[in-house]
Amino acid sequence: MTVPTSALVIPDLLRARAGALPDQDAINVRGQRSITYAEWDARSNAVARGLLARVGGGRGVRVGLLFGGDDWIEYAVAYLGVLKAGATAVHVNDNLPVEELERRFAQCSVAGVVHGAAQPWPHREDRWSARTVELEDADASPVDAEVLPEDIADVLYTSGTTGPAKPFTNPHGNQTYGRGSAALGALTNPAPLLAPMPLGTTSSATTVAVLATTTPSPLIVCSPDDPEEIARLIAEHRCGTVILTPWTAIRLMGIDPTARHDLTSITSVGNASAPMPPRTARQLLAAMPDAVISSAYAQSEAVPAIIMGTVDPDRHLVVGRAGRGTEVVVVDEQGEPVAPGELGEIWLRSQAPKRLYLDSELNALVHAGGWTRTRDRGRMSADGEVTLFDRAVDVITVGGVPVSSLEVEAAAYEHPGVREAAAVAVPDPVLGQSVAVVAALAEGTEPHELIDFLAQRLPPHSTPTAVHRMDELPRGGTGKVLKFALRAALADAQPLTPAARPAVR
């Protein structure tokens, strides 16, 4: 059931690749520029030396990494340099407001900030700043800094979908868990892997630290915000794998990419972050007829514990079964396992070094006996298949009956005039709560049409009493809808479209 914890640290993954494949491209940015494993290894050595000369010692020192756009190579060099020095990287994105950047730097007590050329950051008396190239020492030989699997590699932030993003630590041994020599072999798949990811996020940290150092395929990275370029890169490089969040996939299918690009080289789509709307999954499979869409359900705080499955548009909330080295249980409010098929909270566990919040009180709420409480509601069958119901905070309780916002949203996306959709609870004087949908609608689509459409597809208690128009839904850095912001905005709002009160069944 479990996998022995790896004795490796993240720099070991890069050193192994640089030794085996020195001249192979490690990271290719948009098909325009790249860095080899040997270059990455040497430059990150030089950054580590420059950092140690500046701070005197690495362990316990936190260094902010502020990058954006296409600056993947400088980010990767800085990141591995920080880790080789024994320090901790705090990943932030340049799309964050200055006030939020300052909040995170202060919260994490960063000693300095390494930034890209387009993200100048002021040098202060208590916090230095430098570009990657400004840290590089003339000596690019390996540094002699002890780094252990239990040492903290990163401070990462949650997606912020339920409130202000929260910081948690990520030990080296968490990222390298289960990655022994078998994971560090040669590139065996010539078809490139395309990873459209935003910089300065948990996703970019994993892409650089693990994916770029262990994938059997050449790695191409690009922005998730340009669906036309994603389609172009797939077609031009004959990519075999693409990693997509649901929001990236929705936008990609929204441009009708097959009218201009051949996507048939794709045989594997990795879906992460959230369940994919069934309509989007069907569109992807039509555009990529030889592809299988794999899903990875996890919580940032529970990684590397993971549930793996294959996306079936007809069973879109079935997330799969426990991955290698993962234990899963569904429990009641007292933490006791529920019967198969009963609704409860999903808990995950692995033997890897734990990711922990900086807030010890929050750790006590989320972690118990090695388990991580996901705060997601779901069911597990007798044979271990897990079906997600909803994020606990997003469940809408209509007259005592729980409604899955995910089910409502999946039904809303079936309407051809819906570009974006989110279902949230709004106060109801009789039922306690009712369902409201906030949607970006195509020109000519009216809110009442969507209500009528959903009334034909959902039980009465799940049918929205209102549809609110919004040009664009508020989203966090990973593309997830900020439902807490929608709930706050709609708490006192009147329905834009009257609808009959749903009967509760």
SS3 201: coil
Which of 32-46, 222-236, 260-274 shows the lowest per-residue confidence on average (mean pLDDT)? 260-274
- Contact 179/206 with Cβ under 8 angstroms? no
pLDDT in tens, 409-434: 999 999 999 999 999 999 999 999 99
pLDDT in tens, 284-338: 999 999 999 999 998 888 999 999 999 999 999 999 999 988 999 999 999 999 9
Helices (DSSP H) in 309-367: which residue ranges?
360-366
pLDDT in tens, 90-124: 999 988 999 999 999 999 999 999 999 888 888 88
**89 pLDDT more than 50:** yes
Instruction: For residue 491, give Cα distances in angstroms to 392, 468, 486, 488.
Output: 18, 12, 8, 5
- Contact 465/436 with Cβ under 8 angstroms? yes
Structure confidence at residue 184 (pLDDT): 37
Q: What is the mean pLDDT of the chain?
A: 91
**182 pLDDT more than 60:** no
pLDDT category, 186, cuts 50, 70, 90? very low
Please report the sign of the dihedral spanned by the C-alpha atoms of residue 22, residue 243, residue 474, residue 444.
positive
In sequence order, which residues have a C-beta less than 8 Å from that of residue 193 and are 6 or more positions away?
211, 215, 217, 218, 219, 220, 239, 240, 241, 242, 243
SS3 87: coil
Q: Which percentage of the chain shows pLDDT scores above 70? A: 94
**382 pLDDT more than 90:** yes
The position carrying tokens 């494949």 is 21
Structure confidence at residue 231 (pLDDT): 98
Distance of alpha carbon 467 from alpha carbon 480, whole angstroms: 20
**494 pLDDT more than 80:** no
Structure confidence at residue 6 (pLDDT): 64
Distance of alpha carbon 217 from alpha carbon 28, whole angstroms: 12
On whether the 395-490 domain is CATH 3.30.300.30, my answer is yes
pLDDT in tens, 229-262: 999 999 999 999 999 999 999 999 999 999 999 9
pLDDT in tens, 53-66: 998 878 889 999 99
- Which among 402, 410, 403, 399 has a CA at the least distance from the CA of 317? 410
Token pair for residue 392?
Answer: 């606990």
Q: Which percentage of the chain shows pLDDT scores above 90? A: 81
Structure confidence at residue 188 (pLDDT): 61
pLDDT category, 493, cuts 50, 70, 90? low
pLDDT category, 476, cuts 50, 70, 90? confident
In sequence order, which residues have a C-beta less than 8 Å from that of residue 209 and are 6 or more positions away?
10, 13, 79, 80, 83, 153, 175
Structure confidence at residue 160 (pLDDT): 79
Q: Is 60 left (phi over 0), alpha (psi -120 to 50) or beta?
A: left
Q: Where are the domains of the chain?
A: 1-187+199-213, 395-490
Structure confidence at residue 125 (pLDDT): 85
Token pair for residue 249?
Answer: 């996939």
**498 pLDDT more than 50:** no
Structure confidence at residue 299 (pLDDT): 87
Rounded mean pLDDT, 30-50? 97
Structure confidence at residue 496 (pLDDT): 38
SS3 389: strand
Instruction: For residue 378, give Cα distances in angstroms to 158, 335, 395.
Output: 21, 14, 11
pLDDT category, 135, cuts 50, 70, 90? very high
The order of strands in the sheet holding 112-115 is 128-131, 112-115, 62-67, 88-93, 152-157, 167-171, 356-357
Helices (DSSP H) in 56-200: which residue ranges?
72-84, 98-107, 132-135, 172-175
- Which among 135, 113, 126 has a CA at the least distance from the CA of 51? 135
Token pair for residue 382?
Answer: 């007798």
- CATH code for residues 1-187+199-213: 3.40.50.12780
State the pTM of this model. 0.91
Distance of alpha carbon 205 from alpha carbon 309, whole angstroms: 23
- Contact 409/422 with Cβ under 8 angstroms? yes
- Contact 438/468 with Cβ under 8 angstroms? yes
SS3 231: helix
- Contact 111/64 with Cβ under 8 angstroms? no
In sequence order, which residues have a C-beta less than 8 Å from that of residue 216 and are 6 or more positions away?
185, 186, 187, 188, 189
